[in-house]
């Protein structure tokens, strides 16, 4: 079952920063464009890092402690933050290397990358490494904003009819706030967990309840084995 890709949700009007952009220019650019972070590109237009508001705030954070002696056992994160506090250009402020994805990356995969790499946004690059868009956590969460009637239609057409080859008249599909309720009768018992799995995989589905979904024929092996 095909998931939408980042190209379907990404912002294409991407704010980028030159590597030599100064501190005030970065602050001004982010403020004027209403974004909290932007990719840093080199002279070839390739993404080399990311600058976010968090990187900029270190200058204010360490402004009042600049003359204080450093702790001997200062953490790696604290050392990096202190270094960024003294930075004046995008190349010094940025976090690198940047985590990027191609346009055909699925939305679930993008969500996993954001989670595992602990980033809030992903520049989308083409085969030449040039920026064609950017995807944010807000864009990923937007997948769950699909209206209930749209989710219901996809369950019926993509799961019940196309994948299971079942008569949709025998299965009742209800959707409330993204929670799908399946009831009725499938032809075989083995299709019930498949129906639940395929439904849960649809974009926008929050959960699946199938307690009242029954079957006409028990086709499961008597010894409990699955094949």
CA distance 177 to 36: 30
Shortest CA distance to 182 belongs to which of 204, 165, 197? 197
pLDDT in tens, 19-46: 999 999 999 999 999 999 999 999 999 9
Across all residues in the chain, what is the average pLDDT? 86
User: What is the pLDDT at residue 57?
Assistant: 80
User: What is the pLDDT at residue 189?
Assistant: 95
Please count the helices (runs of H) and the strands (runs of E) in the chain: 8, 8
CATH 3.10.580.10 residue window(s) in the chain: 6-143
For the purposes of burial, counting CB atoms within 10 Å of the CB of 17, is it exposed (0-12), middle (13-18) or buried (19 or more)?
buried
CATH 3.30.1340.30 residue window(s) in the chain: 146-217
CATH class of 6-143: alpha beta
- 146-217 — its CATH code? 3.30.1340.30
Assigned token pair, 87: 């930075």
DSSP H or E stretch at residue 180: strand 179-188
pLDDT in tens, 61-118: 554 554 555 554 455 655 555 555 666 889 888 888 999 999 999 888 888 899 889 8
């Amino acid at each position: 079952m095909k998931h939408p890709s980042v190209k379907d949700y990404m912002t294409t009007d991407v704010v980028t920063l030159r590597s030599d952009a100064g501190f005030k220019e970065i602050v001004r650019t982010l403020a004027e464009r209403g974004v909290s972070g932007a990719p840093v590109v080199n002279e070839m237009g390739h993404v080399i890092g990311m600058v976010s508001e968090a990187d900029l705030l270190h200058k204010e954070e360490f402004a009042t402690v600049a003359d204080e002696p450093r702790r001997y056992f200062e953490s790696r994160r604290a050392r990096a933050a202190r270094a960024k506090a003294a930075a004046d250009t995008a190349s010094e402020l940025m976090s690198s290397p940047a985590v990027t994805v191609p346009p055909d990356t699925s939305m679930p995969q993008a969500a996993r990358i954001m989670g595992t790499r602990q980033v809030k946004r992903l520049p989308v690059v083409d085969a030449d490494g040039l920026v064609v868009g950017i995807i944010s956590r807000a864009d990923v969460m937007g997948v769950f904003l699909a209206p209930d009637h749209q989710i219901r239609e996809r369950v019926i057409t993509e799961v019940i009819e196309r994948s299971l080859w079942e008569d949709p008249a025998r299965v009742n599909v209800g959707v409330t706030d993204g929670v799908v309720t399946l009831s009725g009768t499938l032809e075989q018992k083995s299709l019930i967990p498949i129906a639940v799995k395929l439904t849960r995989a649809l974009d926008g589905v929050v959960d699946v309840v199938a307690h009242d979904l029954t079957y006409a024929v028990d086709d499961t092996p008597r010894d409990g084995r699955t094949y």
